[in-house]
Structure 1
Amino acid sequence: MWITSDIPDQSGKTVIITGANTGIGFEAAKALYNRGAYVIMACRNIDKAQAALSEIKTGSGPGEVELAFLDLASLKSVSEFASTIKNRVSNIDVLINNAGVMTPPKGFTAEGFESQFGINHLGHFALTGHLYPLIRKTPGARIITVTSLAYLYGDINFHNLKCENPYDAFREYCQSKLANISFALELQRRILKKGDKVYSIAAHPGVTKTSIGRHMSDSELEAASQRFGEFMEASQGVLPILYAAVASGVKEGGFYGPDADGGLRGYPSPAAVQENAVNQSTATELWNISQEAANIIFP
């Protein structure tokens, strides 16, 4: 049973976490700060992020924590954030691609992509690409992409990424989560081919109480509770993400999640990857489309 007290000393480590002002991201930032890491909280809502940062600092951990503005719905903002980071640090030990939206009203990114695909996947693809030169400087660096078991219901419609068809919020969410795990696994394949000593790992939090479900109606939340049972607190749900980020014995290209109730609850454990996440033609097409949209080539 792996818990936060098992996190090794993170002194001297630089960690970037997207969406670190709330939920899983907040708990990850707090835990790593408390173990000595230099944590950069990459957030869109700076007011909420400032309040979260103040709360983290009340713990008087030995680490450092700072804020930086990042709007994943704008590839221009992603590029500007990366430039800011390159002026702050010389290398990155851990990047946690955590921020996300779930079933919001129909919306679009600055580049015209459906918001869930654009924020959950494309923004993180671009962010990883821009920061990769700093990541590869650290042997054994880790890129953690947070997905969800919703990927099991996902199918990527490459002809509708700008949502010209009728909008189905849950379908688009599942698509974005499939894109997350597909990206993480394909990135590892390409890293190995290049020969860099970098780990790309996917992780999911099971069923966890976070603000990501804020767009769901009361009836939808009640239905989810009846279907999946009790939701874990964010402090528990974050464990597989932290495990992927810092635990020894983690495998390159691995996938981690809770170990009980079919991955819904529990403690960190390797998770099975289903067939829709390892379709090579889908992974290649997703990579090519993302690379063109983000205008960046890596690893």
Structure 2
Amino acid sequence: MFDINAITSQEGRVAIVTGANVGLGFSTTHTLAKNGATVVMACRNADKANSAIAELKKNLPDADLVFMPLDLSDLKSVKRFAEQFLEQFDRLDLLINNAGVMVPPYQKTVDGFELQMGANYFGHFLLTSLLLPLLEKTGNARIVNLSSIAHRNGKIHFDDMHFEKRYSKMEAYGQSKLAMLMFSYELSRRLKEQGYSTIAVAAHPGVANTALSRYLPKPMIALLTPVAGLLLSSPEEGALPQIYAAVGEDIESGDYLGPNGFNEMRGKQPVKVKPRPHALDTEVSGRLWEVSLELTGAHYFD
């Protein structure tokens, strides 16, 4: 059983947390920094990132926190971030691909991707490829990808991946989170084939009360607000599965972590969980891998 109060020291370790200034990323950053890790906070907005650092330092004055700008919806920004990180650090123990956006109005990224698929998945796919050599050089490193129970109804729409024909906010979100989960399994398989010590795992928070909900319809927000404490987990609870994935001593490549409560919607204890069967379809994940290489220009295992 994972005990967040009994995490082994993270002194000397370096972690990247995308979307570290708010919600699950903020809670994950707090836990890692509290236990001695250097945490690079990869965030899009400098003001919000610096405000988050100031807030964290109120309770953790000695925390080693570094802000680096990263906009996952812009592949050029992803490349700049990786270049900056590699110039400043000679090790990377944890890459926590946490950042995301949920059910926004239809938008395309500067690279022509539907926003959720671009920011939630493609940006992280490229980022991971650029940092993988350093992860492997560091040794026994971990890649943690944030998925969602929304993967259960997700489908990879190879015929209209960017929803140019018909946009459904939830279908697009489900696709992006299924993609993150399939990416974890496919990457895990390939890491093992290459004999790498780096492992890839996935986690989901259940249904957490975070800033992701800002795009939900106003009537739904009004309905949920009075009962949020009963139905939704806090960001601190929601972050537990990805923290477990990052530092748990019994984690193996290909594991998937989530809350232990009813239908994995929330829970006080993070546990290993099972995805829906379609998330394990190697034919689809292999095809997604090839499409992702083509669209992002990423290179793995060169």
Q: TM class, shorter-chain normalised?
A: over 0.9
CA contact (8 A) 2:39 2:64 kept: yes
Report what 1:285 is aligned to.
Answer: 287
**Does 1:125 find its partner at 2:125?**
yes
8 Å contact kept, 1:3–1:239: no
- CA-CA distance at 1:287 after TM superposition: 0.4
Corresponding residue for residue 141 of structure 1: 141
Displacement after TM superposition at 1:229 (Å): 5.5
Tell me what 2:271 maps to.
269
- Give the RMSD, CA atoms, in angstroms: 1.7
The structural deviation recorded for 1:227 is 11
Matching residue's letter, 1:240: P
What is the alpha-carbon distance in structure 2 between the residues aligned to residue 158 and residue 276 of structure 1? 15
User: What TM-score, normalized by structure 2, do the two folds share?
Assistant: 0.95
1:159 — aligned with what?
Answer: 159
Q: CA deviation at 1:274?
A: 1.5
Separation in 2, partners of 1:101, 1:3: 29
TM-superposed deviation, 1:58 = 1.3
Q: Which runs of 5+ in 1 are unaligned?
A: none
In 2, Cα distance between equivalents of 1:3 and 1:51: 29
1:191 aligns with 2:191: yes
2: CA distance between counterparts of 1:27 and 1:185? 25
| Pairwise CA distance, 1:158 | 1.0
What is the match of residue 109 of structure 2? Answer: 109
Segment drifting more, 234-243 vs 59-68: 59-68
Q: Does 1:250 align with 2:263?
A: no
Kept in 1: contact 2:57–2:63 (CA 8 A): no
Displacement of 1:62: 4.5
Number of aligned residue pairs: give it: 299
Whole-angstrom CA distance in 1 between matches of 2:223 and 2:114: 26
Deviation at 1:187, TM superposition (A): 0.3
CA contact 1:255–1:270 (8 Å) conserved in 2 = yes
In the TM superposition, residue 223 of structure 1 has moved relative to its aligned partner by 6.3
Per the alignment, in what secondary structure is the counterpart of residue 40 of structure 1? strand
Q: In structure 2, how many angstroms separate the alpha carbons of the residues matched to 1:138 and 1:240?
A: 24
Distance between the aligned counterparts of 1:7 and 1:28, measured in 2?
Answer: 13
Q: What secondary structure, in the 3-state scheme, does the structure 1 residue paired with 2:110 have?
A: coil
The residue type paired with residue 296 of structure 1 is A
User: What corresponds to 1:209 in structure 2?
Assistant: 209
Classify the secondary structure of the residue corresponding to 2:28. Answer: helix
TM-score norm. by structure 1 comes to 0.96
1:52 aligns with 2:64: no
1:263 and 1:132, CA in 2 relative to 1: closer, same or farther beyond 3 A? Answer: same
Paired with 2:148 and 2:258, the residues of 1 have a C-alpha distance of 9
Partner residue, 1:67: 67
Distance (Å, rounded) in 2 between the aligned partners of 1:291 and 1:218: 38
CA distance in 2 between partners of 1:286 and 1:155 (Å):
11
How far residue 6 of structure 1 moved from its aligned partner, in angstroms, is 2.1
